[in-house]
Amino acid sequence: MRFKRLKVKNIRSYNDLEIDFNDGVTVVSGVNGSGKSSLLEACFVGLFGHRGIPKDFVLADLVRKGCEDAAIHLEFEHMGQEYAAIQEFRNNPETGKASTTRSYLEIDGEVVVNQATQTYESIRNLLRMDEEAYKNCVYIRQGDIDVLINARKKDRQRMIDDLLQIGRLEEYRERAKSARTGVGRHITETHARIKDQQEEIETIDATKPVARKNQLNTDLKQLQQEVANLETMRDRTSTRIEKDRQHIEQYTKTQKQIDELDRGISGLETRKKEALTSLESKRKEADRLQKSILEIENKIQELYDYFGLDETTDVDNFTALTEKEERDAYEKISRVKTKQGLKLQEKENSQKVLTETKQNLRALEEAIEKRSTQEKNRLKEIEEINKEYSVLEGEIGKLLERAQSMGFDQKKLDNLEELEDLLLNKQRHLHGKEQEVRTRIDQISKTLTEHRNLLEKGACPTCGQDLQGSTIANDTKEEEVQKKELKEQLEKLIQDTQRAEEKIATLKEADKIKKQVDEKRQKQLLIKQKQENMSSYNEELKKQNQEDEKKKQELTEKIEELEKHIKGAEDEIKEIQQTVNTATEHHAKMKDKLENAKYLIKIRHDHTQMQSDQQHLKAGIADIQENMRFIDEQIAEKKKNKKQLEKELGKENIEELEKKLHDFRQAYEKIIGDIEEKNNQKTSLLKEIGQIETNLKRKKALQEKLKTFNNREKYLKAVKSDVESLEDMYMRLRADLRTRNIDALDRLLNEIFSFMYTNNAYSHIQLDTDYELTIYEKDGTPLEPKLLSGGERAIFNLVLRCAIYRLLSEGLAGGEYRNEMPPLIMDEPTVFLDRGHVHQLLKLIDLMRDMGVGQILIVSHDETLIDSADNVFEVQKDPTTNISSIIAQ
């Protein structure tokens, strides 16, 4: 498998990106947070969809902030065909929820599946691994490098079995086991059903259904005849009841008509009394209205005399002229008051400005005085700061002299970290060498003791041969010489280690001096900055005081002008007030005249309205008199109709009629009850007959089912035997394949391990049947991988991953899957590696490349990895837009 091209839209920090992948080692570099790992994550999600999202994240975290649409388009080559996996997403920035809108797979440009689950299954079948196996084998995420070693025993077995395709056999065995259990459950269930069928058939036969059905049919015919006789009696009784009911209904209807006529007559007589009362009231109202009309006519004449008018005068026109005169007088007052108000406002504004100006003048004087005081204080503080700066300069000089006496000039002080790294590496190397020499001395001492014991005896305890002059004697001399050399070498290593430790202690002391110098220089910088700020501030104070002195003179002149203006305004206000008083007196006279004119118009209108009301009252009195004549005619007509209805009613006895109707109804209800009782008996018989017929049909069906269940039981027993054989086959095949894979994986693991750890303290790795890993030192001491140092553990994990990768690529069936494995992907593999282990990582990468791994993708900012890469991409992020871009180097 080869990655060819990746296109992303609105993924993480990428807006719109397209990148081409080449064969060989590709390193993606860039500063932290620039978006390097997001490229690998996009490839992973491009293959496996939302299942590739880390467990601590949701799909919305993949979409660039604020965007609604996102997409990943990954093109790759596999088994000679061109593929493209496309994942498209929709995001709601407000709710923070996202979903996959489209997921499809293309082969040679043609869409073959277009549904998320189908796309996932197709990719999983192509790669022969799901997303978990992919992460455990080819995609080493940052922080997950030691997941296989740190996993629990059972989880590690499952992970490696899944990677080596053995997990499916266990899955198939579990399915076979489930099938066997299910078939057994079906056999038990079928046997129980057979027993139930037999018992139910026996229960039906015990009731003798055929004889009971014949007896019930005879009883049913007799009941049907009895019901027919009762229904005839019911119909005759119903006809008589209806005839009596209609007779009583007609009597009741006539009586109701008589009652309604009585109520109508009573109502008309009440209306006649109300009409008489209303007539009297309207006559009194007419008399009162006549008196009011005479009073208003007298008031109108008085107003005519007041104004000097007569009946020919147009009162409305006169009132309009008066209203205009009143309005003109009011407007004159308004104009004068407006002028007075403006002048008052002008005086008030000037007074307000005067007050504010005086306040500003006082504030300005206070500010000038305050700044002068501040200027003097700043000068004193600057003198103190200069003294503090000089003291720090002397202290820095003493510290540098002390460092110089220790052999550290300024250049060496700046490179202390690099010197310390070199010394620490040397110390670790010497310590490791020292332990190796001690181990070798112990081994030689042990051998020497054994040989000396033999030589003291003089002969071999087994064969009795003399040992003097033998190889044992010669070896003993050589070993003594070798032990002496090793002790000298050990003594020299101890001295070198002590010297390294002394240098490290000196370095630490120099580092303390450097930190003190840096700290004091930082204080000097702050003091210098403070001095400059205070000098600059004093200059600003002087400049501000000069400007404020000019403003002070301007404010004094402005106060004098405002006081003169306010005096002139007060004189004008007094003159305007006299004019206001004269205009107010004239307006009051005109207002009184206008009110009398409007009152004249009102009472003239009231006089006209009263005359109209008087005409309406006369018409109303005539209407009431006509209505009373009509009511008398209606009363006479209703009394005549009542007499006619009483004659038609005659002397009919309604109580006797109702008693007969009651008796017939009781008889009718008894007949209905008898019919209902017979029908219930008939229903019971039919129900029992139906139940018997159902039982007979049930018996026939049970006999057919019994035959079917007997055949099914025989079939299920045969299936259970086959499934047990299949389960046993999967178990044996899985055990055989695991043994073969463990042997192959152990071989590949030790080949890579030997290549990586040449001339090291470790001899080999052992992989047991449960995938438990043990590292053996040169002396045979076993060691758990978890006890390795951080860098060694990381390298060991990479070795394990690469061994699994090689085993998968070679395959157990002749290597047909070789060169079709996905690219090997590493995200920040040097996080826990020192310089020496980084070189081991480079050796491992070269080894995998030499073994035929077509593509290796690495995210790292380590310069050593970048220099050794075939292809390098640098990721950069725009600080203003937070959008990442890629530059090929």
* Amino acid identity at 813: A
CB 508 within 8 A of CB 427: no
Angle between helices 471-649 and 315-405 (to 10 degrees): 170
Per-position DSSP letters for 716-753, written without gaps between them: HHHHHHHHHHHHHHHHHHHHHHHHHHHHHHHHHHHHHH
470 annotated as ligand-binding: no
Alpha-carbon gap, residue 829 to 145, rounded angstroms: 8
Per-position DSSP letters for 201-258, written without gaps between them: HHHHHHT-HHHHHHHHHHHHHHHHHHHHHHHHHHHHHHHHHHHHHHHHHHHHHHHHHH
142 annotated as ligand-binding: yes
| Spatial CA neighbour of 862 closest among 25, 268, 165 | 25
Alpha-carbon gap, residue 261 to 649, rounded angstroms: 15
Contacts of 834 (CB under 8 A, 6+ apart): 425, 791
Query: Which residues on neighbouring strands pair with residue 776, listed in sequence order?
Result: 764, 782
463 annotated as ligand-binding: yes
**Residue 463: C-alpha distances to residues 467, 468, 599 (Å):** 11, 14, 163
Please state, as a whole number, how many other Cβ atoms lie within 10 Å of the Cβ of residue 427. 16
Angle at alpha carbon of residue 510, lines to 504 and 511, rounded to 5°: 85
CB 123 within 8 A of CB 809: no
Please state, as a whole number, how many other Cβ atoms lie within 10 Å of the Cβ of residue 505. 10
103 annotated as ligand-binding: no
DSSP state of 466: B
789 annotated as ligand-binding: yes
35 annotated as ligand-binding: yes
788 annotated as ligand-binding: yes
67 annotated as ligand-binding: no
460 annotated as ligand-binding: yes
| Spatial CA neighbour of 264 closest among 624, 645, 625, 651 | 645
790 annotated as ligand-binding: yes
Report the DSSP pairing between strands 824-827 and 855-859: parallel
- Name the token pair of 264: 């109508």
| Spatial CA neighbour of 58 closest among 16, 95, 17 | 95
| Spatial CA neighbour of 133 closest among 7, 47, 23, 56 | 47
747 annotated as ligand-binding: no
Alpha-carbon gap, residue 205 to 569, rounded angstroms: 131
Angle at alpha carbon of residue 179, lines to 178 and 181, rounded to 5°: 65
Rg (CA), the chain: 60
* Residue numbers belonging to the annotated binding site: 12, 32-38, 142, 460, 463, 787-792
* Residue numbers belonging to the annotated binding site for ATP: 12, 32-38, 142, 787-792
* Residue numbers belonging to the annotated binding site for Zn(2+): 460, 463
